Amino acid sequence: MNHIWSGNKIRLRAIVASDWEKFHQNDYDSECARASDVVHFPRSEEGTKAWAEHQASKAPDGDSVMLAIETLDGVLVGSISTHSCDPRHGTFKYGAAIFREHWRKGYASEAIMILLRYYFEELRYHKVTAHIYAFNESSIALHKHLGFVKEGRLRNMFFTNGQHFDEHIFGLTSQEYKKLRS
């Protein structure tokens, strides 16, 4: 049986309410929060539970989605989400975060390729971009490794840790994606 959301190491699945605890633990990794989003106010356990319950029960928001990344034996290792999905132009953006103890096992790479397959081959999207803060060397290395094209650098787009940082834009078209897979 071929499950389109599964790879060799991980699968993508909907977030469920019981995922709250691992996401809550990950809230203490401010470096990860800064690299993938922003550093937030502290969140209570009740707050994270309510967030996970909401993720688990909410209706889809157009083509934007947030999915859990779990190993094939069911360990939650991170999440991946799409946003700014524009079906008219066929463009979308995404972000991924793997919990620190699971880095460098190929999980993000596989999760991204599974996600791209769905958007390019099922939803008919044409172009994806990843917007990466200039200090995020891991993500820049990841996107080079995956074959994304560096398309530009926007100056002073993000403020954290007392200063502004540039943003790198990495992109991939559906044709480039097909070549990578062939």
Ligand X SMILES: CC(C)(COP(=O)(O)OP(=O)(O)OC[C@H]1O[C@@H](n2cnc3c(N)ncnc32)[C@H](O)[C@@H]1OP(=O)(O)O)[C@@H](O)C(=O)NCCC(=O)NCCS
Closer CB to ligand X, residue 76 or residue 108? 108
Supply the minimum distance, in Å, between the C-beta of residue 9 and ligand X. 9
Closer CB to ligand X, residue 17 or residue 113? 113
Closer CB to ligand X, residue 100 or residue 124? 100
Supply the minimum distance, in Å, between the C-beta of residue 95 and ligand X. 5
Q: Which residues contact 102 (CB under 8 A, 6 or more apart)?
A: 77, 78
Q: Which residues contact 13 (CB under 8 A, 6 or more apart)?
A: 5, 67, 68, 70
Q: Are 41 and 59 in contact (CB under 8 A)?
A: no
Supply the minimum distance, in Å, between the C-beta of residue 150 and ligand X. 13
Supply the minimum distance, in Å, between the C-beta of residue 102 and ligand X. 7
How deeply is 94 buried, as exposed, middle or buried, from its count of CB atoms within 10 A (0-12, 13-18, 19+)? Answer: buried
Supply the minimum distance, in Å, between the C-beta of residue 168 and ligand X. 9
Q: Which residues contact 162 (CB under 8 A, 6 or more apart)?
A: none
Query: Residue 130 corresponds to which amino acid?
Result: A
Closer CB to ligand X, residue 5 or residue 135? 135
SS3 content of the chain, % helix, strand, coil (to 5): 35, 35, 30
Residue ranges binding ligand X (CB under 6 A) = 32, 35-36, 95-98, 103-109, 130, 132, 136, 138-139, 141-142, 145
Query: Structure tokens of 80?
Result: 């991946």
Closer CB to ligand X, residue 43 or residue 131? 131
